[in-house]
Structure 1
């Protein structure tokens, strides 16, 4: 036997052991699969159950209404996903959604460009202010965005004379067509939401900025040591959240052809629920936009089923959504602990 024959097996054995150590364990794989695809499986089951139970569920009109109502929440959830992945929270999006709608309706009298740019500018500026206070002054996101929520609602009341003034959108304008028009039988807001999600997923998964978002949410101190621009990343994601809320409000105003002042109440909680149900961890560092989109659709299916039942009041939508969110968070926590123990 040669020297080479004696020495060759050892590196192979070491390599096999390293591969075994590096390979994900069954519990870890189960946890990852549940986090990534649990909401999708639940959505498919919910749709099948609703289709078999309620005959009107799969009608074109019902699906169109669900898709449109999902589009506005989805745009808000898009920005919220970036914020939560960094480990933050944004409670101001509901008020910004309402403010964006009112500003868009008011600005529509001066043309489509003003109707779109005005809410984006104002809501984006509030997002910038949120990000600066959180990133530079190191204030708690909960407190900063809660103050922004109250401030945006106050600005809304000031613009609408304490809510007594409702601005209307001319149905013949291009701006109204953005909300009420259809392309290939599907509402234009739905297409806009899908395009934004595709672009957002590309940014989050394939760009350096997306890597910074995950790094900041995973471990802010470690991200700073690696050279990631932590403050700039936080300011950017809160700005993006404000822009998304303002755009969603503008599209909703175009759909309703008016700036309704009472909208947006509780929308921040719906957006957070959709993002978390979709698999994004509230602790940050993990999440994906496709899951948030699934979370939005799942919430809307549940709400639609409650409406189909007819005998249940709309308040049950919040009860079911809250209970479902609690179950998802508990499941995420349990799977995470189980994966760390094994």
Structure 2
């Protein structure tokens, strides 16, 4: 059996039947993979029964569009975390991408889209090279990029004093505000990206490499997996996703808002982990990250529906929920090793 075939066999095991054939193992796997989905269904049912305005078209539409931007960031983060890494720069890249897109929109839609992709993708590529080639810690490298991207943002906007606006009649603005079949264009773009991401992760050699690197980097290298190239690629992908999300957000708001993105990296990490991806790497799936994003947004929406609670409770609830999920993942992981 070739090295690639071995890697594909192992990653396929992670996706399709990660815990063996015993009933207890399969139940543990199902709980880890689909626990967030069950929780989301329960939360939606409870919210719809408690609040008359929850299932209204306007509320669901707004929630879907606002979820789309975080979801695109979480998509790139999923690849990073599966390799066992972390990317703290995506919040600043999201804000930088929005500002660059708004500035570039005066030169046309193509510039508005390509400029944030090029800059944020380049920063992600630098992150990957430093982590994969120089063997620096992902936490330190991406934290430095977080600060650097925020500094570039402030330089472009004259310390935040300048807000670039997008022409509401431009095609770029329509990407953020138009609807197809009653659903916002950003939502359709996000769905297409997640389908593409799922295909890449599960059906391509690169996806198998991602799982192999996260499962055991040394073993993957011995089997011929291009570890450094794979790690570099996932950080570049994360930067591209953050820049694209920022550009779409600028089209939606028809402006490049400088104060956005603060804490988004933590939201993205939370969504990915809540969706079932292990922080230790080697296990995870794209659909789970989307479910994690939706669950966070439903929780936030419910808190807003209550009205009497301060918005800070969103962070408290999200943090508590993340802690519960991590504890549950740890327990399930230990249970799998014991079975």
User: TM-score normalised by the shorter chain: which range applies?
Assistant: over 0.9
Say which of 51, 56, 59 aligns to 1:59. 56
Whole-Å Cα distance in 1 between the matches of residues 194 and 20 of structure 2?
Answer: 32
Whole-Å Cα distance in 2 between the matches of residues 266 and 319 of structure 1?
Answer: 13
Aligned position for 1:97: 94
Whole-Å Cα distance in 1 between the matches of residues 290 and 55 of structure 2?
Answer: 20
- TM-score for both structures, normalised by structure 2: 0.94
**1:341 Cα deviation from its structure 2 partner:** 1.1
Q: State the structure with more CA Rg.
A: 1
1:255-283 Cα distance to aligned partner (Å, 9 max, x none)? 00000000000000000000000000000
Matched, 1:242 2:216: no
Whole-Å Cα distance in 2 between the matches of residues 189 and 168 of structure 1?
Answer: 19
Matches within 5 A, 1:59-78: 59-78=56-75
Matched, 1:252 2:249: yes
Aligned position for 1:140: 137
Aligned position for 2:181: 184
Whole-Å Cα distance in 1 between the matches of residues 168 and 305 of structure 2?
Answer: 30
Kindly indicate whether the alpha-carbon contact (under 8 Å) linking 2:127 and 2:141 is maintained by their aligned counterparts in 1: yes
1:102-157 Cα distance to aligned partner (Å, 9 max, x none)? 00000000000000000000000000000000000000000000000000000000
Kindly indicate whether the alpha-carbon contact (under 8 Å) linking 1:27 and 1:338 is maintained by their aligned counterparts in 2: no
Aligned position for 1:83: 80
Aligned position for 1:11: none
Kindly indicate whether the alpha-carbon contact (under 8 Å) linking 1:203 and 1:209 is maintained by their aligned counterparts in 2: yes
Matched, 1:340 2:324: no
Whole-Å Cα distance in 2 between the matches of residues 29 and 322 of structure 1?
Answer: 28
Say which of 107, 125, 129 aligns to 1:128. 125
Whole-Å Cα distance in 2 between the matches of residues 167 and 230 of structure 1?
Answer: 40
Kindly indicate whether the alpha-carbon contact (under 8 Å) linking 1:85 and 1:284 is maintained by their aligned counterparts in 2: yes
Kindly indicate whether the alpha-carbon contact (under 8 Å) linking 2:20 and 2:26 is maintained by their aligned counterparts in 1: no
Matches within 5 A, 1:1-342: 24-342=21-339
1:169-222 Cα distance to aligned partner (Å, 9 max, x none)? 000000000000101110000000000000000000000000000000000000
| Residues 92, 23 of structure 1: alpha-carbon distance in 2 compared, 3 angstrom cutoff | closer
- Runs of 4+ in structure 1 off by over 3 angstroms are none
Secondary structure of the corresponding residue to residue 49 of structure 2: helix
**1:23 Cα deviation from its structure 2 partner:** 5.4
Secondary structure of the corresponding residue to residue 97 of structure 2: helix
Report how many aligned residue pairs link the two structures.
Answer: 321
Whole-Å Cα distance in 1 between the matches of residues 80 and 322 of structure 2?
Answer: 18
